[in-house]
Amino acid sequence: MLGRIALVLAAVARALRLRAGPPLAPVRRALGAAACAAALAPPLTGPAVAAPPAAEPDAPAAARRLVEEAYDLLDKYYYDGDSLAAPRWRGARERYARAAQQKPRAAPAFRAEALKALDADRYTRIVDERTYAAISRFDILGVGLILAPGPDGRAAVASPPLPGGAAQREGSIRQGDVVDTIDGVKTGGKSSFELLEIVDRAADAGRATFGVVGAGDRTPRLVTLERTVRSVGDPVRAARGPADGVGYVRLGEFNSRTADRLAEVLRDLAARGAARFVVDLRGNGGGAFQEAVAAASLFLDDGAPVVTVVERSGGGGGADRRETFAAKAPPPARRAFAAAAPPPRVQLWLDGGTASASEIFAGALRDNCAAALAGRPSFGKGKIQAVFGLADDSGLIVTVANYLTPAGTAIQGVGLTPEAGLRGPGLGLLEPPLPSAAQFDDAWDHRVCATK
């Protein structure tokens, strides 16, 4: 299921200015009806509970719904089935919903107590309105809609249109509407990544046309929306070389530009004589799941495994569900190396700040024998979170799955261990001297990988 719901993911740590380190990845409103992120890093620091709801005529009912919506999301998507089956959690819904109904202004506190009843992992928590607004302001589709496969396999509008977006301004699209087509392409049976690709491949990048089926509609009505894709920062923080045939790229995050920019810089270094490449991931807290897959695809054979997502089975138990995401050959314009060129030799630099999507990327290259690792052990972020918008504009962060490297390795709390250290300073964000070609090749010959 996760491959069919992962849609809106972005690295936003620097925009948030959070102390937590590796960045958050935004998802709007609902998982299974929205998106999941492979990029939430250490838990946010300090309490983050929404302000009490304003008094209103139906305040008791609204307060009850405030507890119930969070409970329902956790009950449906939290990854640990044993916690969900615990008697303490099973009895939490009615108890705290009733308490909120009786004391509407205390509803956020009762909602927080309901969350405690789950005894969830440290990543699962409520964040306040300001924090949620910061992590949910990235709209990759560019029209203010969050889409995900619906009950009948077609795309569905997973949340109210995002404030200020084209869909909200247009006014006719509602949460729950079915999107039968995107730019004339049927959405039935397509994963969320494939839905995004339909828009990205459109001849007119400035607009997208949706065949929408709302309540009472017998046939789809066409709605054309202008696309406004927010600009994101350059993920390449530095590039230098080649020196003795070794080129260097410092990759700061995995955002919507990462695969394209990395390919561009690698092409430039290769054109200037680089035959070996250092990709510095130190301090890179991760970001967009799909960009980690796309960036890994620059170095891997088409179809090579990149990452396996593991989530709990649906209600009623059963075996965990697994979905493996594979490398997809980039189009000619995105290729980093000529098709006839030999596979590049790559060394990845890691440290304790290398986390999440960065670890997906590094684990994929290591296990497929496409890179050597140097530096210090990575952070060890092997869980996947989703961020849901709630009725009072706060947010709910939920751990929904784990992921494994291509060799089946779970890195949560362990990380990736490089085979070699770094010469020179090698600490923090300083740039150690590049290895010589001989040193690079020695590290390459001693790399650890699953297919060597």
pLDDT band (50, 70, 90) for residue 206? confident
What kind of fold does domain 147-226 have according to CATH?
A: Pdz3 Domain (2.30.42)
pLDDT tens for residues 315-373? Answer: 444 557 788 999 988 878 778 887 667 788 999 999 999 999 999 999 999 999 999 99
Q: Which residue has the tokens 């990462």?
A: 258
3-12, 122-131, 335-344, 382-391: range with lowest mean pLDDT = 3-12
Task: Determine the pLDDT at residue 304.
Answer: 94
385 SS3 class = strand
**Paired sense of beta strands 246-251 and 276-280, if any:** parallel
pLDDT tens for residues 260-273? Answer: 999 999 999 999 99
Report which secondary-structure segment, H or E, holds 262: helix 258-271
CB 324 within 8 A of CB 376: no
| Greater model confidence, 43 or 405 | 405
Residue type, 252: G
Span 56-82, average pLDDT: 86
Task: Determine the pLDDT at residue 152.
Answer: 85
Task: Determine the pLDDT at residue 105.
Answer: 92
Residue type, 361: F
pLDDT band (50, 70, 90) for residue 19? very low
**Paired sense of beta strands 345-350 and 372-375, if any:** parallel
The structure tokens listed for 37 are 């992120």
| Greater model confidence, 357 or 191 | 357
302-306, 310-314, 387-391, 410-414: range with lowest mean pLDDT = 310-314
Task: Determine the pLDDT at residue 345.
Answer: 94
Kindly state the DSSP code that residue 85 receives in the 8-state scheme: H
Residue 41 Cα to chain centre, angstroms: 11
Highest mean pLDDT among 38-42, 174-178, 201-205 belongs to 174-178
Predicted confidence (pLDDT) at residue 13 exceeds the cutoff of 50: no
What kind of fold does domain 236-382+401-445 have according to CATH?
A: 2-enoyl-CoA Hydratase; Chain A, domain 1 (3.90.226)
Task: Determine the pLDDT at residue 17.
Answer: 26
Span 213-240, average pLDDT: 87
Q: Which residue has the tokens 């990235």?
A: 138
Task: Determine the pLDDT at residue 137.
Answer: 52
The structure tokens listed for 232 are 């994101």
404 SS3 class = strand
Question: Domain extents for the chain?
Answer: 2-135, 147-226, 236-382+401-445
Q: What are phi and psi of 334, to 5 degrees?
A: -100, -10
pLDDT band (50, 70, 90) for residue 36? very low
Task: Determine the pLDDT at residue 77.
Answer: 83
CA-closest candidate to residue 226, choices 210, 240, 253, 207? 207
306 Cβ contact list (under 8 Å, min separation 6):
292, 293, 296, 297, 300, 324, 325, 326, 327, 360, 364, 406
Q: Which residue has the tokens 């990327």?
A: 361
Cis peptide leading into residue 242 (ω within 30°): yes
d(Cα 25, Cα 37) in Å, to the nearest integer?
6
Task: Determine the pLDDT at residue 73.
Answer: 85
Task: Determine the pLDDT at residue 192.
Answer: 62
Predicted confidence (pLDDT) at residue 48 exceeds the cutoff of 90: no
Span 29-37, average pLDDT: 30
| Greater model confidence, 207 or 195 | 207
Predicted confidence (pLDDT) at residue 396 exceeds the cutoff of 60: yes
Q: What are phi and psi of 133, to 5 degrees?
A: -60, -35
d(Cα 356, Cα 123) in Å, to the nearest integer?
13
**Paired sense of beta strands 236-243 and 246-251, if any:** antiparallel
pLDDT band (50, 70, 90) for residue 193? low
Task: Determine the pLDDT at residue 202.
Answer: 67
pLDDT tens for residues 98-120? Answer: 999 999 999 999 999 989 999 99
Q: What Cα–Cα distance (Å) separates residue 398 from each residue in 1, 78, 286? A: 16, 6, 18
